[in-house]
Amino acid sequence: MIEINRNKPYFVGNWKMNKSFSDLENFITNVPSADCHQWIAPQMIHLHSFREMTKNQGPLKVGSQNHCHEASGAFTGETSIEQLKDLGIDFTIVGHSERRQLFSESNEMVNKKVKLSLSHQLPVILCLGETLEERESEITFNVIEKQLKVALQEVSGTNFERLMIAYEPVWAIGTGKTATPEQAQEVHAFIRSSLNELYGESAQSTPILYGGSVKPSNVKDLMAKTDIDGALIGGASLEFDSYNDLCKNGL
């Protein structure tokens, strides 16, 4: 069982709908660092193979980018949490802004997904983030608070121990525009104090990752901030060298 805490940084690669089967092996050329948590979420269809290929990669963890909001049944094209658990995956990601925007996932649906992961003792990374329009209208904190509170409805204190949060401003994802370390820290601190209100002191050990154009060149300054415990990385996690440099620079 993976224990979630803030002792070492998390660098989570989200490969989205990228990479072919033959690309997978090229990634496994080095043993991961013991100084950070190195987690990768490949395409759903590659999960089993990637998990087998990385079995001897020590601490490297493999997880899914999404799962169905219902436990089983007539949901064509979806994958259930039980099926993912059967594969032996280590974590899931839910509520990514691409899921919210392109596949119309509501906060209520994200809440169902969070509860399913946690009730199956699977660490879950809950993604939150405002659009550019929302930031410019100065409603970032309202948006984040609503996303957080609805997603965590009926999540109890014990289950909460396997929760991680990723703050990903939508305007920074895949755009090359990163939030400044100060902008990110401000929202991370807000998320931590909201978690504190909901769960008390145990919120101090919830990792909060930043995502949105994180690169080997900007990770150090982001990681220097008190409430930034790691990164959720899209583009820069696709090539091993860039992912590895990012992990090293972020330590």
Tokens of 199: 């769960």
Residue 67 backbone phi and psi in degrees, to 5: -155, 170
Which residue's CB atom is positioned nearest to ligand PGA? Answer: 234
- Give bridge partners of residue 125 from the DSSP assignment: 93, 164
Q: What distance in Å separates the CA atoms of residue 55 and residue 200, rounded to the nearest whole number? A: 37
Question: Is 168 a known active-site residue?
Answer: yes
The single residue listed with the structure tokens 């490949």 is 42
Decide if residue 222 touches ligand PGA (CB under 6 A): no
> 234-251 burial string, b = 16+ CB within 10 Å, else e?
bbbbbeeebbbbbbeebe
- Residue number, 199 or 235, with CB nearest to ligand PGA: 235
The stretch among 30-38, 44-52, 80-88, 167-175 that binds ligand PGA (CB under 6 A) is: 167-175
Q: What distance in Å separates the CA atoms of residue 189 and residue 239, rounded to the nearest whole number? A: 31
Q: What distance in Å separates the CA atoms of residue 187 and residue 160, rounded to the nearest whole number? A: 20
The stretch among 1-9, 33-41, 133-141, 208-216 that binds ligand PGA (CB under 6 A) is: 208-216
The stretch among 113-121, 200-208, 212-220, 239-247 that binds ligand PGA (CB under 6 A) is: 212-220
183 burial (CB, 10 Å; 0-12 / 13-18 / 19+) is middle
Decide if residue 200 touches ligand PGA (CB under 6 A): no
Residues in the chain: 251
Q: How far is the CB of 168 from ligand PGA (least distance, A)?
A: 6
Question: Is 46 a known active-site residue?
Answer: no
Selected from 14, 38, 65, 80, the binder of ligand PGA by CB under 6 A is: 14
Selected from 148, 187, 232, 247, the binder of ligand PGA by CB under 6 A is: 232
Decide if residue 174 touches ligand PGA (CB under 6 A): yes
Selected from 124, 155, 173, 203, the binder of ligand PGA by CB under 6 A is: 173
Q: Which three-class secondary structure state does DSSP give residue 40?
A: strand
- Residue number, 214 or 223, with CB nearest to ligand PGA: 214
The C-alpha angle 175, 176, 182, rounded to 5 degrees, equals 110
Residues involved in catalysis: 96, 168
The residue ranges that bind ligand PGA (CB under 6 A) are 14, 168, 173-174, 211-214, 232-236
